[in-house]
Each structure stands twice: as structure tokens, then as C-alpha cells.
Amino acid sequence: MHLSSTHHDINKIIPQCNSYRIDHNSPFYLIPLHKPVHKMLIYKAIKKRREENQPGSELAVDSEKQKEKKLCSHLLGSQSQTSASPLLLNKPKQTYIRPDAGSLEPQQAEALLELANLNQRSQIQASGPCELCKKEKHDARVYRWKLIAGLLLPYFLASVDLTIVAAALPFIASHFNKLDQLNWIVTAFTLTSTAFIPAFGQLSDVFGRHFVLQLAMFLMLIGSVLCAVAPSWGVLLLGRALQGTSASGITNLIQIILADKVSLKDNAKNSTIFQFVAGISYSVGPIIGGYLTNSNWRYCFVLTIPVAFFAHFIIYFLLRNELVQGTHFTKGSRRSSFIPGLATIDIGGTFLFVFGVGLLILGTAWGGVTYPWTHAAVLTPLVIGSILFVFFFVYEYLLEPGRVFGRLLPQQSPMIPSDIIKNRDTIVLAIIEFATGAAMFSVFYFISIYFTLVEGYEAGRSGLQLLYYIPGIGFGAYFAMFTCNVWPAQTFVPLSAGTIIETVGIALLTWATTTRNIPVVSGMMAVAGAGTGMRFMPATLHVAGIWPDKIAPAMSIMRFSLPFGGTLALTIMGSVFNNKMAEVFRHGSSKGGLDLHNTGQSLEAINKLPPDIQNYVRNLAKNAVLWAFISIIPIMAISLVAVFFLGNVWIKSKKAKEEAERKAAEDGKIGEAIVSSEVIQVPFLWALITGTVEVNKYISTPLSKAEKEKQAHAVLEEKNRLRAFKKHKTVNADV
């Protein structure tokens, strides 16, 4: 009913309002008065409340400024349960009667109830958060600090293991007389760290985050021990392969864990910290390795043993009860569910992916270095690897419920669901992450080579120059944090800006190597680092926003793309560099007797050459580094084009938050953080130009319990239908 704002209408509606007052402790807020209240006071109160609710009015502006705290979901629910319903006003027990004033009519009661509800809302707003809200915020803070304390050390360990051997490579290979195969120290690590990423994602879904993370840490411990005591070249490579397998599990699991059980806003804060730590780890790895190598190269691996051992206990005591459990590996039933859990693993997809990626990396690692590109030893793994890699995606598609392999293997689930692979944003993000890995690995390894060969720095000093990469990463990470958490709270801005800046930075760094000007090279490293830092965290947020129900497989693709891009980039750059350096050693052989197959002797020989010849050889080495960087410019250009087809994710969306709260209420999880966001999957720039952003925007939240049950029921019905059809077909064939 609409209430008039005139005094005349108030007199009509509430002729006896002086007989009643508002009591917030009463279910309907109305009790008899012993002292009269002037009708004009009620009129003014209602008028003031209405003006406060009118957008743009002075009272509304002042009221908004005074509201320091908003209503929480618990108080809103409490208010909705205690607010009077017009239907209840017609019941006799809701009519308050005073002997000397008569009964209160429904219209009169409704007017006072309106004022009562407005007053109650004001009092709730002034009272601030309820006790449940305070407890939830406290629990969220505790959970966040447990994540940081429990996962930071393993993440640092997995990141630093990638680059700690950068300055030690020639010395490790020299010890085993394998200088012509020193690239395998890196390849053994990057091959396994790339190939096993999706497998760890599915294992974490089946057996739980804690169990799989501890398994990855155990592999790191065993791999480090093997490398530290390696008596032969084969044992060393086995240890590096185990370290790479461990690193793939640790980095992937940590990104998945950071996205579990938190909102996108909190995920952005946590991911910023970890990505910044990763950038620092990558940068200080060559420095630590360089100084440890001055004593003994084995210390590079000994260092990780106590760290991995200590990390085991930190994860166990802080996180074993906090992390998401697996579908087949829950508390109280681990032994009985282990075999059924293994039965759900996508064994065929894992085989195709691991061997496909492994053969591709093997072929590119051999090409132009160990064998010519046209040699059968290079072409065979490249062809077979390509076939297996392509068939992996076909197999994953056919493993979906209702399709060929899905009917043959009904218990197994695809490692990477086909809808993730077919999504445009997923492909664009994979390209962006691929280019990020190419840029990052090129700086870590070839800038160190530049300072060693071209500038004549020793191993420790050469690694120290990579510190100039850290300020750039730090600035990029802060920019990403601001644009995702504060304004405009979107992922497109840092991803597009980072892609542009990183492409420009690598191009300028390529030019800077020709100048032999140390400050210029260091400055361009910082520029490239800024672009890299901008893209670390927003990519994971974008994926979590698009796939809130499939975080593990979607995140696995991102975690695979980055090292895969770095591995292939290093392989391409290494091939180009080796071909160019062959000319250096040929020229050097005629001028000073350099030996291509003894890098340590060659470096020492360069320093002993006459100044004019030494400068000539260093310029040829500079040219080799230049062409190595030029070889990855096309990768950066492809990512620059791809980013214009990227969609967008709004992290702070009120609509998405309300939808998440509704689904949480349906599942009985009020107050629990849920990944929710507004998403647009058409190219965002095109939507801006055509003005169709709001039309294409939709809310992305995880399925509620009821929706999941409905989906599972539909899948089960489809399986039963296919089973019945197959049985009917068999019977007809027999007849």
C-alpha cells in the first residue's frame, strides 16, 4: 500500500497513532503507549526515511556517508525472518487493543510497521557486523596465513630449482665429461615439469590436495638427493627428472589450492604474493647457484634437501585439515578408496600427453645441437610426438560421457574436459602464458650467457645482473594487484598491458644486447620484467572466473603452457645460438685455438687472447645472443595479436556476489567464500566498440548442490539409456 506524504493523509490513516509506539524487541514492534506521541513526529520520521532512500537527495548522500558498515547476509536473513507480513496483519493476535483507545486497524498498523522496519534497518546498519561475520573474517584470515606459511617455502623451492643450475651448467657437465650435452641438465627438468602438470591436476581432484602435494614434495627430496650424490651422468639426469616432476606438482597444486575455498578478490591477493616470490626465486636462483658453484656444484642440490624435508612437516601440521579432499580419498576410508580412485584416473590421456610432449621436447632438444634437423633421430620423435599430442585432444573429447571411449570406460573422467579446450579464452590465455614462459626463460638463461661470453663476467657476477629483473617484476605484480583488487577490478587490463609491455621489452632487450651498454641492458630487463609481472596473477584469476567448477584442469593448462613455452623457446634459442657460436669457434680456431667441446677451456682461452682478437670473438658471441633473442620475437608477436581476442572477468561484481550467496544458502553454506564473478567471453575490445558489454556479460559461479545432483542424474540417465540400447541391440542380433 502506498502511504501519502501529506499531513492530511496521515490524519486519515492513523487517527489513533498516539496510542502506540515501536518496540524492536517485540515480534511486530507495536506495543501500547502510556504517553501520547504526536502524529507529526511519525509523519516526519517516515518522510525523512523516504528521502534517505531517494537516490540523489541530500539526505540520501548524507546517509550514505554515515554508513560505514553494510548489512551482512546473516543480519539480512534475520531481518527478513522478523519483518511482519501483510498477511499476518489480518490475524486477530496481531491487532493490539488498548481499552481506552480501541483497536488498531490493518492500515494503521502497516504505517507504523513501515516505520518500524526502516528504524530496524538503520539500527542494524549502525550496529555493524554480527558475531558470525566477525568469526568468518577471523577464520578467513587464519586460513590465509596458514596458506602463506605452509606453501611459500615449497613454492620458492620449486621455482628456484629451475634456475639455480644456470650458472653451474658448464661445471656440472665438465665433471662428467659431457660438455656437449650440458643442455640435458635443463631439458631433463623442463621436460618432466611440463609433461606431468595435467596429471597432477587430476590426481589432486581424486586423492585430495594434501596427499598429492606431499607426494610432490617427496619426489623433490628424492630427486635432490640423487643429484647431490650422483656418481654418473645418468643418475644426475634421473634426479633432475624427478625434481622436474616434483616442481610440476608443487607449482600446479599451489595455484589450485590458492583458488580453492576463497573469493576471486582473496585469490588475487594471495596469488600476487606467490607470483612475486616466484619472480624473485627465478632471479636469485642463478646468483645462489653461481656462488655455491665456486665451492662445489653439488651444493646447488644439497641446499634443497633440508628445505624440502622441513617443508614436509610445515604442510602436514598447518594444512592437512584445511585443504580440499579428494573424491575417492577422504578421511576414514583411504585404503578402501585408493583402488577405486585409481580406476577413475585418465590413464590413456596421461600416457598420450606425457609421451607426446616428451617426444616433442626431445626432438627439439636434439635438433641442431646433437643431430642435424634433418636427421632421423630428430624427425622421428617430432613426428610421433606431434601425432600423440594431437590424438590426446581427440581422446579427451571421445572420453566424454556418451561418446565412444566414455561408453567403454565409464568410470574414467577426462584429464582435460573438451569444453575447456574448445573455449576461446582458454586458448588465448594458453598462448599468453606460452609467450610469458618464452620471455622469462630467455632472460634467465641467455642474459646470463650474454654477460659470461660477451662481457667476460664470472659465474657469480653474471648471475647477479639478473637482480635488475626483480624491480620490473615487482612493479608489474603491484600493477596487476591494483587493477584486479582496486580499480577497475578486471583481468583484461593487466593481461593486455602486460602483453604489450613484455613484447616491447623483449624487442628492446634484443636491441640492447647489440649496444654492449650494461645500464641499457639492465633497464630493458626491468621493462620486460614489468610485462611478465603483470601477467602472472591475472591469468590464474581469469581462469578461475571462467571455470569455477573446473579449477584443477583449467589451471593445469595454464601451468603447462608457461614452462612448455619456456622449454621450446630455450630449445629454439639454443639451436640458433649454437649454430652461430660454431662460427665463433671456427674463427677462433684459426686465430687462437679455441675448442668447441670444452666450454671452460674456451672461456679461459677467450680471456687470454690478444685484445683485438678477444674483442672480435666477443662481438661474434654478441651476434649469436642477438639472433637467439630474435628467434622468439614471433612468439611474442603471436601473443600480442591473441590478446585482442581475450574476454574479461570482473572480480568485484555485486550481482555475482549475490548469486554466490544465494547458492551458498541453498547448500547450507552461508558465509563460505565462493568463486563468483561476472564474465564476458566474446572479445572484450570488440564488445566495448560495439557497446554490447552488458548484453554479453553473465554471472559465473560454481554449480549448487542441487544443480550438481541434477547434472549427475542426467549423466547417469544417459549411461543407463546407452546401456539399455546396447543390450537391446545385442538381443536383436541374437534373435
pLDDT value of residue 598: 45
Taking 80 as the threshold, does the pLDDT of residue 320 lie above it? yes
Q: Which grid cell sits at 92?
A: 486477530
Q: Which grid cell sits at 514?
A: 647489440
> Taking phi first (over 0 means left), then psi (-120 to 50 degrees means alpha), and beta for anything else, what does residue 38 get?
beta
Instruction: Give how far Cα 189 sits from Cα of 247, 280, 563, Å.
Output: 9, 20, 10
Task: Collapse the DSSP code of 678 into the 3-class scheme (helix H, G, I; strand E, B; otherwise coil) and give the result.
Answer: strand
Please give the DSSP secondary-structure letter assigned to residue 325: P
Neighbours of 689 (CB within 10 A): 10
Rounded-to-integer distance, Cα 402 and Cα 199, Å: 23
Amino acid occupying residue 374: T
Nearest to 554 by CA among 122, 260, 284: 260
pLDDT digit string (tens) for 397-436? 898 887 888 888 887 888 888 888 889 999 999 999 999 9
What are the phi and psi torsion angles at 399 (to 5°)? -85, -5
Rounded-to-integer distance, Cα 334 and Cα 497, Å: 47
% residues pLDDT > 90 (the chain) = 22
Mean pLDDT of 495-515: 93
Residue length, the chain? 735
Rounded-to-integer distance, Cα 489 and Cα 502, Å: 21
Q: Which grid cell sits at 598?
A: 670444452
pLDDT band for position 45 (50/70/90)? low
Please give the DSSP secondary-structure letter assigned to residue 668: T
% residues pLDDT > 70 (the chain) = 68
Mean pLDDT of 641-667: 72
Q: Which grid cell sits at 85?
A: 507480513
Q: Which grid cell sits at 115?
A: 516505520
H or E element that contains 623: helix 611-630
Burial class (CB in 10 A: 0-12, 13-18, 19+), 525: buried
* 359, 373 contact by CB (below 8 A): no
pLDDT band for position 596 (50/70/90)? very low
pLDDT value of residue 664: 54
Taking 50 as the threshold, does the pLDDT of residue 279 lie above it? yes
Between residues 172 and 40, the one the model is more confident about: 172
pLDDT band for position 694 (50/70/90)? confident
Rounded-to-integer distance, Cα 58 and Cα 546, Å: 41
Nearest to 412 by CA among 355, 350, 323, 325: 350
Write the CB contacts of 84 (distance below 8 Å, at least 6 apart in sequence): 27, 28, 29, 94, 113, 116, 117
Between residues 438 and 400, the one the model is more confident about: 438
- DSSP conformation letters of 692-733: -HHHH-EEE-PPPHHHHHHHHHHHHHHHHHHHHHHHHHHHHH
Rounded-to-integer distance, Cα 534 and Cα 478, Å: 8
pLDDT value of residue 410: 80
> Taking phi first (over 0 means left), then psi (-120 to 50 degrees means alpha), and beta for anything else, what does residue 402 get?
left
What are the phi and psi torsion angles at 490 (to 5°)? -135, 160
Q: Which grid cell sits at 316?
A: 602436514
* 683, 692 contact by CB (below 8 A): no
Nearest to 121 by CA among 40, 43, 53: 53
pLDDT band for position 227 (50/70/90)? very high
Nearest to 151 by CA among 265, 318, 347, 283: 318
Apex 566 CA angle, 620 and 458, nearest 5 = 45
What are the phi and psi torsion angles at 84 (to 5°)? -75, 145
pLDDT digit string (tens) for 84-109? 443 333 444 444 444 444 455 555 56
Rounded-to-integer distance, Cα 540 and Cα 254, Å: 11
pLDDT digit string (tens) for 350-388? 899 989 988 988 888 787 777 888 889 889 999 999 999
Please give the DSSP secondary-structure letter assigned to residue 592: T
* 353, 251 contact by CB (below 8 A): no
pLDDT value of residue 639: 95
Range with the poorest average pLDDT among 454-463, 499-508, 691-700, 713-722: 713-722
Neighbours of 486 (CB within 10 A): 9
Nearest to 259 by CA among 507, 4, 545, 477: 545
What pTM was estimated for this model as a whole? 0.72
Nearest to 565 by CA among 490, 622, 465, 642: 642
C-alpha R_g of the chain: 33
299-308 as b/e, with b when 16 or more CB fall inside 10 Å? bbbebbbebb
pLDDT band for position 256 (50/70/90)? confident
Angle formed by the axes of helices 233-259 and 209-228, to 10°? 160
* 645, 424 contact by CB (below 8 A): yes
Write the CB contacts of 556 (distance below 8 Å, at least 6 apart in sequence): 197, 198, 200, 201, 202, 252, 415, 416
Task: Return the C-alpha torsion angle 557, 560, 564, 565, nearest 10.
Answer: 60
Rounded-to-integer distance, Cα 465 and Cα 517, Å: 13
Query: Helix and strand tally (H, E) in the chain?
Result: 33, 7
First to last CA, the chain: 73
pLDDT value of residue 290: 80
Mean pLDDT of 489-511: 94
pLDDT value of residue 69: 44
Beta-strand relationship, 677-680 and 648-650: antiparallel
Torsion sign across C-alpha atoms 198, 200, 202, 204: negative
* 38, 46 contact by CB (below 8 A): no
pLDDT value of residue 59: 52
pLDDT value of residue 104: 52
Instruction: Give how far Cα 343 sits from Cα of 327, 392, 409, 585, 704, Å.
Output: 12, 19, 9, 55, 27
Rounded-to-integer distance, Cα 504 and Cα 492, Å: 18
pLDDT value of residue 551: 82
Q: Max Cα separation, the chain?
A: 122
Nearest to 426 by CA among 563, 550, 255, 278: 550
Range with the poorest average pLDDT among 132-146, 273-287, 327-341, 585-599: 585-599
Range with the poorest average pLDDT among 284-298, 577-591, 633-647: 577-591
Rounded-to-integer distance, Cα 399 and Cα 409, Å: 8
CA 31 to chain centre: 57
pLDDT value of residue 14: 43
